[in-house]
Amino acid sequence: MGHQHKCQDAKKHPGAQLNQALSQPIVQASSNDILTCASAHRLAKAHDCLPKQIGIQADLLELRIAQCQLGLFGYAPGKKKINPDAGITPELKNRIFDAQSDGKIDCKTCWKIATEFKISRINMGSVCERLEIRIKPCQLGVF
């Protein structure tokens, strides 16, 4: 996911099949072959499934995921949405460094920390970028 090309992302999931109960609402929530991160997560919640399952279905449907809620992809061709002014308190910095491993922290943990510190997800992604902590893996399987 997250690529500009069609007919590539489905290959990431050999043997996976479209789930009609999920694929139809995904197509309805998409526009111009794009499904936003927020829409994908709303669908996962509404259908009581993991976000990764929505990501797989989007791949099989050759939809791009855009507008990452952490600001990492999908805002303009190849652009992130990073806030260079996102504040980094010593407590937030320590929490992120405690949660990371080998310079990486997963998306779900970033969401949890953002909630704990009452900051936006965009600012959480921005803080991780500034601290040079890579966010990986994505809950939707984009990266």
Tokens matching residue 48: 């009581």
8-60 residue pLDDT tens: 677 788 888 999 999 999 999 999 999 999 999 999 999 999 999 999 999 99
Of residues 127 and 82, the one with the higher pLDDT is 127
| Three-class SS state of 34 | strand
71-126 residue pLDDT tens: 999 998 768 998 889 999 999 999 999 999 999 999 999 999 999 999 999 999 99
| CA pair distance 96, 102, nearest whole angstrom | 12
Which of 102, 101, 100, 132 is CA-nearest to residue 113? Answer: 100
| CA pair distance 140, 1, nearest whole angstrom | 9
Residue-level pLDDT at 76: 81
Which of 61, 71, 136, 70 is CA-nearest to residue 103? Answer: 136
Residue-level pLDDT at 8: 66
141: left (phi over 0), alpha (psi -120 to 50) or beta: left
111-120 residue pLDDT tens: 999 999 999 9
* Phi then psi dihedrals of residue 120, to 5 deg: -70, 160
Residue-level pLDDT at 7: 46
In the predicted structure, residue 3 carries a pLDDT above the cut 60: no
